Amino acid sequence: MYVLGIETSCDETSLSVVNKRRVLSNTVWSSLNLHAEFGGVIPEIASRQHLKSLSFVFSRSLEKAGIGKKKIDLISVVSSPGLIGSLLVGINFARALGYALGLPVIEIDHLKAHLFAAFLNNRSRINVPSLGLVVSGGHTELYWMQGFENVRVLGRTRDDAAGEALDKVGRLYGLGYPAGPLIDKLFDLSLVNKRLFEIKGLKHTLDFSFSGIKTKAGYMYKQRNGRFSKEEKIGILSSFQYGIVSHIIEKINSALSQYKVRRIICGGGVAANFFLRQSLIELCRRKKLRLFLPDIAYCSDNGSSAAGLGFYMYNMSKGLGNNNQ
User: Which residues contribute to the site for ligand KG4 (CB under 6 A)?
Assistant: 10, 136-138, 163-164, 166-167, 178, 180-181, 184, 268-270, 272-273, 300-301
Cβ partners under 8 Å of residue 91, min gap 6:
77, 79, 107
Binding site for Zn ion (CB under 5 A): 136, 301
Compare residues 132 and 269 and give the one whose CB is closer to ligand KG4: 269
Residue 118 per-residue DSSP state: G
| Least distance between Zn ion and beta carbon 43 (Å) | 15
Residue 277 per-residue DSSP state: H
Distance CA(59)–CA(82), nearest Å, equals: 24
Pairing between β-strand 151-156 and β-strand 140-146 as defined by DSSP bridges:
antiparallel
Cβ partners under 8 Å of residue 286, min gap 6:
none
Cβ partners under 8 Å of residue 270, min gap 6:
135, 136, 137, 140, 162, 163, 166, 180, 276, 299
Please name every residue paired with 2 in a beta bridge, in sequence order, or none if there are none. 19
Q: How many CB atoms lie within 10 A of CB 159?
A: 15
Q: Which does 160 bind (CB under 5 to 8 A by kind): ligand KG4, Zn ion, none?
A: none
| Least distance between Zn ion and beta carbon 47 (Å) | 16
Compare residues 164 and 207 and give the one whose CB is closer to Zn ion: 164
Q: Which does 243 bind (CB under 5 to 8 A by kind): Zn ion, ligand KG4, none?
A: none
Compare residues 12 and 207 and give the one whose CB is closer to ligand KG4: 12
Q: Which does 273 bind (CB under 5 to 8 A by kind): ligand KG4, Zn ion, none?
A: ligand KG4
* DSSP for 41-81, written as a single string: --HHHHHHHHHHHHHHHHHHHHHHHT--GGG--EEEEEEES
Q: Which does 270 bind (CB under 5 to 8 A by kind): Zn ion, ligand KG4, none?
A: ligand KG4
Compare residues 97 and 237 and give the one whose CB is closer to ligand KG4: 237
| Least distance between Zn ion and beta carbon 144 (Å) | 21
Compare residues 138 and 310 and give the one whose CB is closer to ligand KG4: 138
| Least distance between Zn ion and beta carbon 192 (Å) | 27
| Least distance between Zn ion and beta carbon 136 (Å) | 4
| Least distance between ligand KG4 and beta carbon 161 (Å) | 7
CB-based contact 76:70 (threshold 8 Å): no
Compare residues 2 and 35 and give the one whose CB is closer to ligand KG4: 35
CB-based contact 15:4 (threshold 8 Å): yes
